Amino acid sequence: MKISIVIPVYNTEKYIEKCIESALNQSYPDIEILVINDGSTDSTELLLKKFENKIKIINKKNGGTASALNMGIKNMTGDWFKWLSADDILKIDAIEKLVFEIQKLDKDAENCIFYSNYDLIDKNGKIIDTFEEPNNNSLDTFQRNIILLDHYYGNGTTSIMHKSIFDKCGIFDETLGYKDDYEFWLRCCLLYDYKLYLVNENLAQYRIHESQLTKKRYDDALEQIEHIKSKTISQLPLHLQMKYLTAVKNYQKQISFKIKVRRNIRNIMFKLLPKSMSNKILGIYLNRKSN
């Protein structure tokens, strides 16, 4: 079983070497690593040359993360597509454990998007916290989709999926700019009955750093999420649209009071506070386990 690790890269000179090394050092042997340099303007391209005998490097004009992922999909030769973000790190046995779970599910595995737990690390690689993803494996398709419509889960950098998913569901949407993974999850799960499946292991380190912690990015992402939800639901038959919209409203009514208050306070602060303060609070929020 060959695994293709695809790393989309744009101006990540601070972190790209650690990322690639974590992919090269995997305990599972049958892998290929494709690094898609999405028009970087810093020293990323020069740093990639250090690894040119060990990885496949594809340089392209800047087009965003989705376009880089799609370029990787087009050029991969493996059976399974493993996304890895350029500022993140894989644990040494990550692929081995993912393959073990894939083999356990046998034929059902090809209908799943696998994801795992992960550490949150700062710009220096220090572990801030451990994020335990929700385990919805035992729920039926409709229940899982309601939760996914309420909130994003399944960090892209921990994900792995069979290459056949792109033939059935299409590739990543290059028009979005934000939340490419969420749109893809929703499309696959709501329109094609795929399942987000938790591998209940800590297999990656997800880096939080300055360029992520901006109020504009957060506001744009929230706006994009609502657009993605509406667009995806609108592609369902009318009776299913109504069924999902009603079920999501009922689900949100049942969410604990504590979570509701936390979400409302978060959104109000980001909208009303000065930019510098909003960014600081956003950093604190992202460094916590939260919905």
Q: Write the pLDDT tens digit of every residue in 245-262.
A: 999 999 988 875 545 555
- Looking at residue 225, what is its pLDDT? 87
Residues 6+ away with beta carbon under 8 Å from 288: 129
The domain boundary residue, chosen from 153, 180, 209: 209
Examine the fold and report which residue of 157, 181, 209 is the final residue of a domain before the chain moves on: 209
Give the number of other Cβ atoms within 10 Å of residue 76's Cβ. 21
pTM of the model: 0.87
Residue 55 CB-density burial (10 A; 0-12 exposed, 13-18 middle, 19+ buried): middle
- Note whether 80 and 140 are same-domain residues: yes
Instruction: Verify that 129 and 149 share a domain, yes or no.
Output: yes
d(CA 273, CA 232): 32
- Which residue, 185, 153, 145, 175, is CA-closest to 64? 175
Q: Do both 96 and 118 map to the same domain?
A: yes
Whether 270 and 155 map to the same domain: the answer is: no
Contact 35, 7 (CB under 8 A): yes
- Same domain flag for 139 and 177: yes
CA 244 remoteness from chain centre: 23
161-176 pLDDT per residue, tens: 999 999 999 999 999 8
Residue 40 and residue 61: Cα distance in Å, rounded? 8
Mean pLDDT of 28-47: 97
* Claim to verify: residue 109 and residue 14 sit in the same structural domain: yes
Task: Provide the residue range defining the domain that includes 273.
Answer: 216-286
**Number of independent structural domains in the chain:** 2
Domain check: are 169 and 227 in the same one?
no
Q: Do 245 and 159 belong together in one domain?
A: no
Q: In terms of domains, do 37 and 181 share one?
A: yes
> Which region among 65-79, 178-192, 214-228 has the lowest average model confidence (pLDDT)?
214-228
- In degrees and rounded to multiples of 5, residue 252 shows phi and psi of -65, -30
